[in-house]
Amino acid sequence: MKPNFDKYIGIPFEHKGRGLSGCDCYGLVRLVFENERKIGLPDFLDIDYSCGLEKNETYIQDEYSQFLSNGWVSIDKPYTLWDCFIFYSNMEKGIADHIGICIDGDKFLHASCAVGSVLVSRLDQYWISKIYDVARWVGELDG
């Protein structure tokens, strides 16, 4: 069955939100994976992140290592449905704290605090320049 990504568009951005009434970028990933793939992803609510939070590259690398060790692997092209783009929100400060789900070869679904809701964006040169890594879920199915 083809996933229905349209039902997520417009969900309000909510820092550390995890549901249809509001979610952040990783909350959206968890919500979509649970609803569309029946996969319960690990959560990272204990990680201190938010829009504009200043972090250093070492912190991001440590937290991202934790993320990868919990069922995700780093991948290269070609990107396919369900791959997740991890983006720098501030490249100069080494802040990689945004994630979106590949829904087509060049489109991704994400919850944007700047826009204030979930939207689909094209993986254009702007977004490509902000990629920190691309990850694929290889963990076990929940249950």
Which tens digit of pLDDT belongs to each residue from 50-89? 554 444 444 455 566 666 677 889 999 999 999 999 998 7
Which tens digit of pLDDT belongs to each residue from 84-137? 999 987 666 667 788 999 998 899 999 998 999 999 999 999 999 999 899 999
Alpha-carbon gap, residue 37 to 33, rounded angstroms? 5
Domain contains 1: no
Predicted TM-score (pTM) of the model is 0.84
The total number of structural domains in the chain stands at 1
Tell me the residue range of the domain where 96 lies.
6-137
**Helix (H) or strand (E) segment spanning residue 110:** strand 107-112
Give the CATH number for residue 115: 3.90.1720.10
Domain contains 11: yes
